[in-house]
Amino acid sequence: MKTDKDWVELVLSRMKRGQEHLQPQMEKAVQEQIDMPERLWVYYALSILMRHPEQTRWDLLMAELESLIQDETQGDLCEIIYQEVLETFANAISNQSFEHHWITPHIGPLSRDYIQAYDKFMGGKTPGF
């Protein structure tokens, strides 16, 4: 049975695909938070990509994440992506600290559905969704 750390490492490895120029910064961000709960490592790696949107391959990132959440029987894995990635996007877009146009053309149907459900739960509306 996989642990949170196993799932986080899988998500991080997929997030790094195609992001070679930002990988050192992503790895540094995770190392600086090594004492934090593993799930937060995903958030810190994502924050690097979000700070460099013009350098990030959003098409690859969103495709990788969508492929991981296809198997909903992997609840812990899906939960990590939902909470640490998709909710981060929704909050950052709603707070105007990240522009939705970077991800909306590339987001898959499961990810889009989750953000819309999250909006309904939170009583808000993420621009672009």
Distance CA 50, CA 45 (A): 9
> Residue 1 has what pLDDT?
84
> Residue 72 has what pLDDT?
79
104 in helix, strand or coil?
Answer: coil
Max Cα-Cα span within the chain = 39
Residue 51 banded pLDDT, cuts 50, 70, 90? very high
Tally of CB atoms within 10 A around 42: 22
Q: Does the global pTM surpass 0.75? A: yes
Q: Provide the token pair at 24.
A: 């050192």
Closest CA to 69 of 52, 56, 86: 86
Residue 95 banded pLDDT, cuts 50, 70, 90? very high
What are the extents of the domains in the chain?
4-122
Distance CA 13, CA 5 (A): 12
CB 12 within 8 A of CB 81: no
CB 88 within 8 A of CB 43: yes
Amino acid present at 110:
L
């969508």: which residue's tokens? 66
Question: What mean pLDDT value characterizes the chain?
Answer: 96
pLDDT at 127 over 90: yes
pLDDT in tens, 5-24: 999 999 999 999 999 999 99
Query: Is residue 21 packed enough to be buried (19+ CB in 10 Å), middle (13-18) or exposed (0-12)?
Result: exposed
